[in-house]
Structure 1
């Protein structure tokens, strides 16, 4: 079975460049496995209302990004603890932050 996906580092570089070209801020928070690491995208706007997007397997065999965690404005540490737990579970994963209005439009569309 052939895997047609881009290497992870190229996919991330593309997301970061697209956000920056649109006037937003994007950065790698944790660098994972270069070619096949999973990706956690923290989408935010001016540092508020963060949403974690992760690529999840779908019933049809495809893999698409799904919002898996919303930052609670009353308990921001819960979001940070969740991100730290994800890294402990999968140290080869990448965590990137995209800070721009409607950041989800840049997530591996």
Structure 2
């Protein structure tokens, strides 16, 4: 059984803060099963946008884990916001979480192969 989106986002925010980073929920979606997008700005000023991985990326050993793929890497915040606006039109139950931390994003979320 997969944990709810609300619980997963809460755990991500707590984990990032515990490691000395910063996280903020920009948009709350459906508590039970809303899709989650994670926005990260790195030290070079580039934005990384992570979104839900396709179902084919899931491992049979861990089918309930949430997996993410890097959707976008850009220095233009407007491109990130445009993509998020498209996602919101497609799925009004979507979550947006912005994070700021040092290190590998794989330490905070399961990243599927691009």
TM-score, normalised relative to structure 2: 0.79
Would the alpha carbon gap of residues 86 and 23 (structure 1) be closer, same or farther in structure 2, given more than 3 Å must change?
same
2:13 is equivalent to residue 16 of structure 1: yes
Q: Is the 2:42–2:48 Cα contact (8 Å) retained in structure 1?
A: no
Q: Give the superposed CA RMSD.
A: 2.1
| Shift, 1:46, TM fit | 5.3
Q: Is the 1:44–1:99 Cα contact (8 Å) retained in structure 2?
A: yes
Q: Give unmatched runs, 5+ long, in structure 2.
A: none
Please identify, of 28-37 and 80-89, the stretch whose mean Cα deviation from structure 2 is larger: 80-89
Q: Give unmatched runs, 5+ long, in structure 1.
A: none
2:70 is equivalent to residue 67 of structure 1: yes
Q: Give runs of ≥4 in structure 1 deviating > 3 Å.
A: 60-63
**Who is 2:90 aligned against?**
89
Q: Is the 2:67–2:109 Cα contact (8 Å) retained in structure 1?
A: no
Instruction: Name the one with the larger strand percent.
Output: 1
5 Å-filtered alignment, 1:41-60, equals 41-45=38-42, 48-59=45-56
| Helix, strand or coil at the partner of 2:2 | coil
